[in-house]
Amino acid sequence: MAYQRTPYVESKRAEARQRLVQAAVALIERGGWREVQMSAVATEAGLSTGAVYLHFPSKTDLLAEVYRTQAGTELHVLTLIAEQPVPAADRLRAGINAFAQRAMKNPRLAYAIALEPTDIDVEEVRLHFHREFGMQFRRILDSGVAAGEFTIADTRVAAACIFGGIVESLMGPLGATALARGKAASARRQPDATALVDGVVAFCFHGLGKPAPRNPPTKRRAVGRSGRAKD
Amino acid sequence: MAYQRTPYVESKRAEARQRLVQAAVALIERGGWREVQMSAVATEAGLSTGAVYLHFPSKTDLLAEVYRTQAGTELHVLTLIAEQPVPAADRLRAGINAFAQRAMKNPRLAYAIALEPTDIDVEEVRLHFHREFGMQFRRILDSGVAAGEFTIADTRVAAACIFGGIVESLMGPLGATALARGKAASARRQPDATALVDGVVAFCFHGLGKPAPRNPPTKRRAVGRSGRAKD
Amino acid sequence: MAYQRTPYVESKRAEARQRLVQAAVALIERGGWREVQMSAVATEAGLSTGAVYLHFPSKTDLLAEVYRTQAGTELHVLTLIAEQPVPAADRLRAGINAFAQRAMKNPRLAYAIALEPTDIDVEEVRLHFHREFGMQFRRILDSGVAAGEFTIADTRVAAACIFGGIVESLMGPLGATALARGKAASARRQPDATALVDGVVAFCFHGLGKPAPRNPPTKRRAVGRSGRAKD
Amino acid sequence: MAYQRTPYVESKRAEARQRLVQAAVALIERGGWREVQMSAVATEAGLSTGAVYLHFPSKTDLLAEVYRTQAGTELHVLTLIAEQPVPAADRLRAGINAFAQRAMKNPRLAYAIALEPTDIDVEEVRLHFHREFGMQFRRILDSGVAAGEFTIADTRVAAACIFGGIVESLMGPLGATALARGKAASARRQPDATALVDGVVAFCFHGLGKPAPRNPPTKRRAVGRSGRAKD
DNA sequence: CATGAATGAGAATTCATTCAT
DNA sequence: TATGAATGAATTCTCATTCAT
């Protein structure tokens, strides 16, 4: 009776927890997982070191939650896209686009999440999410195959090529931005997400393809930006 | 060069340096970058801790050299393949195959090199090599385009899709193997590199295909392996 | 006394206090003093952490009270025995027996109370009680001397030998049981309290004794069990 | 060859290790196990914190070694006495005496070693040594029984009574001295080891006596010291 | 050149105690 | 009174790097 948690109190706990995760994210944005020290997280969140342990039993748990939060959001977006009742080709493009756009927004974070693991246990979470991302792309591909849109045989590998292609394409630009810390990071030219997306989409639809009529009926700007190098 | 006195001494130096790098590699194979501690490297190499610093000014330099050595070998193989005077399609397949086969041989090491960085400065080396790998694949693609074999527009993105696709496809299996340390790691079924290679090749040549006549003139087993799941 | 308002409130206070002590005892039984953390005690007692401090100004005070409660009970029993209007020899045996039997009942607790101090201030309480136990045994001895039953000169040392002998005899078995936590503690054979009691009694009455006619007129099982080793 | 350890270097290692143990002992003498913090030990030994870990993998290992060193010395002395080719009665008295004398010399240390455990793993070492001490006393008793000097049936319990009696007799005085830290500890009157030894010996030889012809030929003051309280 | 003991600045974690609500 | 989140000092352990020998 006297002990019953009120929504208020409950939200206070949840809020502190949330604040800690956000603090960790902020630190990652600043300098990668390396910056995520328990005391730094506490300070960033406006709490004491000990308080962190009221919400997370260990650093690993905090890191895992951070990963889950960030990657989970991405995954959710991708899942929603994969479920849209539109042609698989459109969903595929939308998925690729969503992924690339978000990564461009916050390169440091995207890089850390996608490619810069720390803790061995967080690695497992990362593997899980990579598998999940692959699964969602594969869902799109499978439904496309079922609808006769695609005729690819191995959708698992194709999904990996798509997801891996995005990540790898972003890796250079992301990494360059990510590693530029104290330096005039803002001075760097943001890489062109549109060109990347179009390139991946083109590859998906035609492979190294003989035919390769540049995607003419696409709603987006149609010509000439895909071949540009940017580094 | 400042140190060279006699060829003998020079080679002794070089040999010790080599031994240190190999010791680090052995440690990585055993448990990832995490195991690479300066004193452990020294012990593994049969030297004293202090001796390591006679060859590498800092841990970062050692790690970078390790990365260079390992990735450099891979890159060299890929470069040789890219230079072969055979059709681009053949070189592409050979390149993909070389990469996948080697990774399967030593998953722990491959995983560490491809996806498990430690030091921020090693990151730069890693980025460099990823770019280089992409460049070599791109070389193949470009020559294929020049020869009329391929008609892809954005060879940079295509190369990233190919390289990223391989890495991503391997990530699950590699990661699973890599993370399984004390556990019955040997019990795990080694993933099938052939299926992976075929899948990537198929995706390269047909994209998500419409046409998709299963690659009939390929020398490898022609049917039915591409769709198999392996996890 | 400053806090008493109504008997009801007073008893509520007393009850909570009692509950806290019992909670601490439960924790000790589970894993020794080490387990007695203020928040754990609170949880065990169904109270809040802060509430503990409404009853005990500090952890030391709580621990002291726990010690007093537990050792006090033992001491009370021993005191009652010491006051019985029976021959000193009978009281001595009864006292030894009472002590050993209770320790066997709850080895973990007995071990913690007798031999596993934590807080330096609790040490004082422990010393006090050890002195008190010695005093009670000495009372028995002194009255035996007065009655002509015993002719020992230094009853203080004799009492210490008796009390210390019991504790030391129990120490091995108790410690073994006490330290065996997760392990198959139940699998351990409970040491034989009867043999121990008889052994101590025999030593008390005859020392290393020339004469040593096994205690024949004792009401308990008369022969042959005293010499058995049990470990 | 270049790597061969010279006796000098070897002794340097051993010496540092020894110095650390002695530093820990010094801290115990000052304030019990509580004072034994790794950094404090390092400072006391004139080393850095990290250096401690070059010699002991963990605090527990250091503590265990400290215990072993201290208790081992005591045990060695007792063992030597137990092996003397003299009547068991003489050895018994000598053993008791050795133990008591040494404890009186350094009460704080004796108290910590005998009765103030810290680490759960050190507890095991303590149990081991208590068992060993008991064994040595028992050896004396057994040989006495074999020689017809004693007729006690349960030498195990008798040994425990003797050892426990000494410890318990010392506990009060030791504890009092031990707990008096900042206070004028030196001002305390050292308890009389001789009386204690005589008392224990008397109890061993006569039990609570009937016969009890006061030990007349003892060189020490014959009368009146046994009943005195000293605290 | 080689050695390996020593350094010492961190980083994670614990827990008695406090205090705003 | 009661709560329980928050505090923060204390402590163990790590490891790249240095330096006297």
Task: Give the nearest partner residue to D208 out of C141, C163, C212, using CB atoms.
Answer: C141
Distance CA(D84)–CA(D140), nearest Å, equals: 10
Closest residue by Cα to residue C208 from C199, C216, C217: C199
B38 touches strand F (CB under 7 A): yes
Looking at the C1' of nucleotide E10, which residue has the nearest alpha carbon? A37
Residue C148 backbone phi and psi in degrees, to 5 = 80, 5
Burial status of residue C133 (CB atoms within 10 A of its CB: 0-12, 13-18, 19 or more): buried
Amino acid at D129: F
Residue A7 predicted with pLDDT over 70: no
pLDDT tens per residue, range B58-72: 999 999 999 999 999
A164, B203 Cβ separation under 8 angstroms: no
Name, in order, each residue with C-beta under 8 angstroms of A100's C-beta and a sequence gap of 6 or more: A166, A170, A193, A196, A197, A200
Mean pLDDT of chain B: 81
pLDDT tens per residue, range C166-209: 988 888 777 777 666 544 444 455 567 888 899 999 999 988 87
Task: List, as one string, the DSSP characters of A169-191.
Answer: HHHHHHHHHHH--SS-GGGSPPP
Judged by CB atoms closer than 8 Å, whether chains meet at C130 and D168 is answered as yes
- Residue D191 DSSP class: P
Chains with 3+ CB–CB pairs under 8 A to D are C
Distance CA(A176)–CA(A160), nearest Å, equals: 24
Name, in order, each residue with C-beta under 8 angstroms of B54's C-beta and a sequence gap of 6 or more: none
Beta strand extents in chain A (DSSP E only)? none
Nucleotide nearest to D54 (CA to C1'): E5
Q: pLDDT above 90 covers what percent of chain D?
A: 52
What pLDDT sits at residue B110? 87
Task: Using alpha carbons, list the distances in angstroms from residue B138 to A6, A165, A216, C10, C113.
Answer: 61, 13, 25, 85, 76
Looking at the C1' of nucleotide F7, which residue has the nearest alpha carbon? A48
C170, two tokens: 């129990």
Closest residue by Cα to residue B67 from B113, B16, B20: B113
Q: How far, in Å, is the CA of C100 from the C1' of nucleotide E16?
A: 35
Burial status of residue A156 (CB atoms within 10 A of its CB: 0-12, 13-18, 19 or more): buried
Q: What distance lies between CA D127 and its chain's CA centroid?
A: 13
What pLDDT sits at residue A85? 95
Instruction: Catalogue all structural domains in chain D, each as residue range(s) with its CATH number.
Output: 1-56 (1.10.10.60), 58-231 (1.10.357.10)
A123, two tokens: 């690695």
pLDDT tens per residue, range B15-47: 899 999 999 999 999 988 889 999 999 999 999
**A221-225, B179-183, B204-208 — which one is most confidently predicted on average?**
B204-208
Judged by CB atoms closer than 8 Å, whether chains meet at D157 and C169 is answered as yes
A157, B203 Cβ separation under 8 angstroms: yes
Closest residue by Cα to residue A32 from A124, A116, A130, A120: A116
Q: Helix C155-179 and helix D120-146: axis angle, to 10°?
A: 130
Distance CA(C37)–CA(B98), nearest Å, equals: 59
The CA radius of gyration of chain C, in Å to the nearest whole number, is: 20
Judged by CB atoms closer than 8 Å, whether chains meet at B32 and A117 is answered as no
Burial status of residue B85 (CB atoms within 10 A of its CB: 0-12, 13-18, 19 or more): exposed
Task: Give the nearest partner residue to C208 out of D141, D164, D210, using CB atoms.
Answer: D141
Q: How far, in Å, is the CA of B110 from the C1' of nucleotide F7?
A: 46
Distance CA(D21)–CA(D16), nearest Å, equals: 9
Amino acid at C9: V
What pLDDT sits at residue D96? 95
Which of 91-150 (C) contact D at CB < 8 A? 92, 115-117, 120, 123-124, 126-127, 130-131, 134, 141, 144, 149-150
Beta strand extents in B21-90 (DSSP E only)? none
Distance CA(D72)–CA(D133), nearest Å, equals: 10
Closest residue by Cα to residue B183 from A115, C183, A124: A124
Judged by CB atoms closer than 8 Å, whether chains meet at B123 and A172 is answered as no
| Per-residue pLDDT band at D223 (split at 50, 70, 90) | very low
Mean pLDDT of chain A: 81
Q: How far, in Å, is the CA of B25 from the C1' of nucleotide E2?
A: 23
| Per-residue pLDDT band at A117 (split at 50, 70, 90) | low
Closest residue by Cα to residue A111 from A156, A194, A175: A175
A16 touches strand F (CB under 7 A): yes
Mean pLDDT of chain D: 81
Which of 159-218 (D) contact C at CB < 8 A? 160-169, 171-172, 175-176, 178-179, 195-196, 198-200, 202-212, 214
Judged by CB atoms closer than 8 Å, whether chains meet at A156 and B199 is answered as yes
Residue C89 predicted with pLDDT over 90: yes
Cβ-Cβ contacts under 8 Å, C198 against chain D: 154
Residue B167 backbone phi and psi in degrees, to 5 = -55, -50
pLDDT tens per residue, range A42-100: 999 999 999 999 999 999 999 999 999 999 999 999 999 999 999 999 999 999 999 89
Residue D217 predicted with pLDDT over 70: no
Intra-chain end-to-end CA distance of chain B, in Å: 51
Intra-chain end-to-end CA distance of chain D, in Å: 64
Closest residue by Cα to residue D173 from D160, D188, D184: D188
Distance CA(B192)–CA(D91), nearest Å, equals: 77
B209, A207 Cβ separation under 8 angstroms: yes
pLDDT tens per residue, range B146-204: 999 999 989 999 999 999 999 888 887 777 776 665 444 444 555 678 888 999 999 99
3-state secondary structure D107-158: HHHHHHHHHCCCCHHHHHHHHHHHHHHHHHHHHHHHHHHHCCCCCCCCHHHH
Count of CB atoms situated within 10 Å of the CB of B33: 18
A137, A157 Cβ separation under 8 angstroms: no
Side-chain-facing half-sphere of A133: CA atoms under 13 Å: 31
What pLDDT sits at residue D10? 59
Number of helices (H), then strands (E), belonging to chain A: the values are: 9, 0
Q: Helix C59-83 and helix C120-146: axis angle, to 10°?
A: 10
What pLDDT sits at residue A193? 81
What pLDDT sits at residue D206? 87
Task: List, as one string, the DSSP characters of B203-222.
Answer: HHHHTT-SS----TT-SS--
B70, two tokens: 């390992």
pLDDT tens per residue, range D173-182: 776 766 665 4
Global pTM value: 0.84
Task: Using alpha carbons, list the distances in angstroms from residue A220 to A51, A91, A142.
Answer: 50, 15, 25
* Interchain contact B16–A (C-beta under 8 A): no
